[in-house]
A and B are shown apart, each in its own frame.
Chain A
Amino acid sequence: MDGETLWDWGYALEVLPQLLQAMRITLMATVCGMGLALVGGLFLAILRRSRIPALSRAGFWIIEFIRGTPLLIQLYFYFYVLPDFGIRFSPFATGLFGLGLHYSAYMAEVYRAGIDSVPKGQWEAAVALNFSRRRTFFTLILPQAVPPVIPAAGNYLVAMFKDTPLLSAITVAELLYTAKDDIGSQTFRYIEPMTLVGVLFLAVSLISARGIRGLERKMELKT
């Protein structure tokens, strides 16, 4: 060893701003991805409940397919295969779509659990009052179905956050990509950037987990 220290604080501080910048991309991917998953999951959950057997079966298979294959392969597919069919987006947009769709399948199950938790009598009251199916679902059932599953959705939010490094595989400059390809491969020092990435992930995850536990407790108090 030629006097090189194992951990160089000066270097760590030097790369931190760049990592924090990349953290913004990571958080943005998480938040936007979750937004997509909330909408996509609801859509899949409704598809799954369709009275038309072909639609409900389609919903079932989309969900099974997405949950049954690794996110990384899905991302590669959207990034490397779809352009062959003339479908081309930026890496970030492709990543968002991949994350959002992947977690839509999980969110669909979350919605389903919530909908199943609404007592049958609520649907019956809606029939007795002659509400349309659409209004029954969106204004009577859904508002009761969502609150109990907010903690479950929160857990998927954290899971999705921890999955964002997979976007580095399709060249999105999020935290991992920045640490490995933008910083590490230039300086050949990986220990500081990689450690910082780990610490940043840990910090955000711990804070979110706390928030979710708080939410859970609030839900319990309400019921």
Chain B
Amino acid sequence: MNNTAEPFIQIRNLHKSYGDLKVLRGINLDIPLGEMVSVIGPSGSGKSTLLRVLMTLERPERGGVRVGGEALYDVNAEGGTVLPPPDRFRALRNRIGMVFQHFNLFPHMSVLRNVTEAPVHVLGVPREKAKAEGLRYLDEVGLADKADAYPAQLSGGQKQRVAIARALAMHPEIMLFDEITSALDPELVGGILDLLARLGKKREMTMLIVTHHMRFAEQSSDRVLFFDDGVILEDGKPGDIFTQPEHERTRNFLRSVLEI
């Protein structure tokens, strides 16, 4: 294998079903290091499922994923998915982070503890150092003054900022964002999207962002994927996809969402 020529994330023929329902039907995707990719598409087309498979929350049945030259999901001779040994799997998972639609903060821990718990116990960072670093990340998302608050005392937008800081504190190379503004009051959405755009500009992480905000996808991302019925129907520069999509289905989708 020539790792230097291999794209940072390499997804090959990925399949995932729930019972008889085929949700991912052969995903092929290469993403270079540091790219910010927006994922759009109709409800139920498999966007979340792809992110969840990459986060190892779901196991695919067929196909493989390689990250930085290492197999997260290997394939056997028949194309079936094979998990790497548990220690390798866990080591690789350390390089991937995720932010969820419903924040999933730990309600029994303070904001700072939410951010430092994983660095301390998963990465082995000394607690004092983790605290200092955690405060830096809270500052980055604009919440330094909330370090001692508990999640229940925060607004939705603030909760999502904590969730982002918590994920950042693990220094992931890949960050997955699944509709992270969908549970927020409309007036709080803009701030979170600005934060995302700012993170993307730094090019410190490779970002996959599932979003319903077409303007954000168009203006802030390097690349847009249009999902339809378990496959990537369209893949290109935001300018191209939004102005001259190749497929009728993409046009219909864009028309329907842009009209609202």
User: Interface residues, chain A, CB within 8 Å of chain B?
Assistant: 119, 121-122, 124-125, 127-132, 135, 139-140, 143-144
- Which listed residue, A128, A132, A140, A143, touches B98 by the CB 8 Å rule? A128
B108's nearest neighbour on chain A, judged by CB, is A143
Question: Interface of chain A, helix or strand or loop or mixed?
Answer: helix
**Residues of chain B within 8 A of A119, CB atoms compared:** 104
Q: Name B residues whose Cβ lies closer than 8 Å to a Cβ of A.
A: 55-57, 90, 93-94, 96-98, 100, 102, 104-108, 117-118, 121-122, 166-167, 170
Chain B residues contacting A132 (CB-CB under 8 Å) are 122
For B90, list chain A residues within 8 Å (CB): 130
The reply to whether A129 and B56 form a contact with Cβ atoms under 8 Å apart is no
| Contact of A130 with B93 in the complex, beta carbons under 8 Å | yes
Closest chain-A Cβ to B168's Cβ sits at a distance in Å of 11
Enumerate the 9 nearest inter-chain pairs by beta-carbon distance, A residue then B residue, closest first: A125-B104, A121-B104, A129-B118, A128-B98, A143-B108, A130-B122, A130-B94, A130-B93, A124-B57
A128 to B98, CA, bound (A): 6
- Residue from A127, A129, A139, A144 within 8 A of B107 (CB atoms): A144
Write the chain A residue with the least CB distance to B166: A129
Provide the residues of chain B in CB contact with A131, threshold 8 Å. 118, 121-122
25 A–B pairs (Cβ distance < 8 Å), ordered by A: A121-B100, A121-B102, A124-B55, A124-B57, A124-B100, A124-B104, A125-B100, A125-B106, A127-B56, A127-B57, A128-B57, A128-B96, A128-B97, A129-B118, A129-B170, A130-B94, A130-B118, A130-B122, A130-B170, A131-B118, A132-B122, A135-B121, A139-B117, A139-B121, A144-B107
Establish whether residues B57 and A129, one from each chain, have CB atoms under 8 Å apart when the complex forms. no
